Amino acid sequence: MISIRIQNLTKRFGTVTALQQLDLTIGAGELFFLLGPSGCGKTTLLRCLAGFYIPDEGRIFFGDEDVTRLAPHKRNTGMMFQSYALWPHLTVAENVAFGLEERKIAKPELKRRVAEALESVRMADYGARRPNQLSGGQQQRIALARALVVRPRCLLLDEPLSNLDAKLRLEMRAEIRRICKEFQLTTVYVTHDQKEALSISDRIAIMESGRILQVGSPREIYRRPACKTVANFIGETDFIAGKVVGGAGGRVTVETALGTFEGVAGDPAAAPAKGAGVTVSIRPECWTLSREARGRNCVKGSIGGCVYLGEVAQYDFVAGGTALKIFELNPRFVDQAARGELYASVEPEDVVVLVA
């Protein structure tokens, strides 16, 4: 296991700056996700780690070793591409063995390590087949075995599940986490899929326009977004504009068009001052509906529309001309019960105050 340190990293392509002075530390054995929209720089950062791109500024360390300008084949990383990049004319075993042959590994050792790699991804019985005889999920496992067989210092994954159907993606999420933890691999995983990142990562970096906006655990990123961009990118949320009118003991009080809300600062290090314009972020599942007003952070309105999904209902809750999204588990306010005046309330710890 190795840690990865990125210091002041900048990468340009002509007049376009793809990465802007990034600083990031990834712990040894960590399953770390780079998450963001297309064009945010996450794949460029992964390719800098692999050695395919040389940064214009900054340094990259694997442990204590400066690998910034080290050739890709000398970094001992395992890389798995979105397309899998399997050789169609080679068998499964020959595809997995390719990296070992390049390293001049003796035949008996090569054969043993290929068998171990195929066993680790539960494909031990498929060594004699060709890639075109495998399903998409099986090809994905073979590409993963090929990356693992060289015993890399770190594993680099570039949207490895994007070509799989929904059921296979769910299955392979768990498999990838199992394998990374079993082999104690430091893993950097690029995706734009929020659920993928939230479900299996140890930590996540949210990227936009070549910068890192926030780093944290899945729960931290979802529950305490540091800015409006992060809150908007991860999951769904209701945004309500307001102004800070007070605060104490870690709480912030905000006056909005829907009333006064008490909440917590998304970024405690940059808590907004009294009088500052802010945005209140509330996740749809955090609201509670009732027929009577309940305590603080309570809004009066009515249900304007409902999508009933059995275990959950998604409401358009109209309050003072503003439509809020509210998700109710084991829904009660559907059909006849949805009619009339209702109250939506939310706990202060679920109200995140973001600098506007």
For residue 127, give the CATH number of its domain: 3.40.50.300
Number of domains in the chain: 2
Q: Which residue has the higher pLDDT, 84 or 264?
A: 264
Q: Are residues 134 and 193 in the same domain?
A: yes
Q: Are residues 85 and 197 in the same domain?
A: yes
Mean pLDDT of the residues in the chain: 92
Q: Are residues 165 and 113 in the same domain?
A: yes
Q: Residue 270 pLDDT more than 90?
A: no
* Token pair for 216: 């944290």
Distance CA 84, CA 81 (A): 5
Q: Which residue has the higher pLDDT, 188 or 171?
A: 188
Residues 190-207 have pLDDT tens digits of 998 899 999 999 999 999
Residues 48-80 have pLDDT tens digits of 999 999 999 999 999 999 999 999 989 989 888
Q: Are residues 135 and 50 in the same domain?
A: yes
List all residues 6 or more positions away from 31 whose beta carbon is below 8 Å from its beta carbon.
177, 180, 181, 187, 189, 200, 201, 202
On whether residue 231 sits in a domain, the answer given is no
Residues 274-295 have pLDDT tens digits of 999 999 999 999 999 999 998 8
Q: Phi-psi bin for 320: left (phi > 0), alpha (psi -120 to 50), beta?
A: left
Q: Are residues 112 and 134 in the same domain?
A: yes
Show the domain range for 190.
4-225
CATH assignment of the domain containing 308: 2.40.50.140
pTM metric for this prediction: 0.88
User: Which single residue is written with the structure tokens 């109250």?
Assistant: 343
Helix segments in the chain, DSSP class H: 42-50, 92-102, 107-120, 136-149, 166-182, 194-200, 218-223, 228-233
Q: Are residues 152 and 120 in the same domain?
A: yes
Q: Are 145 and 160 in contact (CB under 8 A)?
A: no
User: Which single residue is written with the structure tokens 């087949």?
Assistant: 129
Q: Are residues 307 and 199 in the same domain?
A: no
List all residues 6 or more positions away from 40 whose beta carbon is below 8 Å from its beta carbon.
207, 208, 209, 210
Q: Are residues 170 and 283 in the same domain?
A: no
> Beta strands 186-191 and 154-158: pairing type?
parallel
Given 225, 257, 286, the domain boundary residue is: 225
Q: Residue 337 pLDDT more than 70?
A: no
Q: Are residues 297 and 218 in the same domain?
A: no
Given 225, 257, 289, the domain boundary residue is: 225
Distance CA 328, CA 69 (A): 53
Q: Are residues 102 and 215 in the same domain?
A: yes
Distance CA 203, CA 28 (A): 12
Q: Residue 236 pLDDT more than 70?
A: yes
On whether residue 230 sits in a domain, the answer given is no
Given 203, 225, 247, the domain boundary residue is: 225
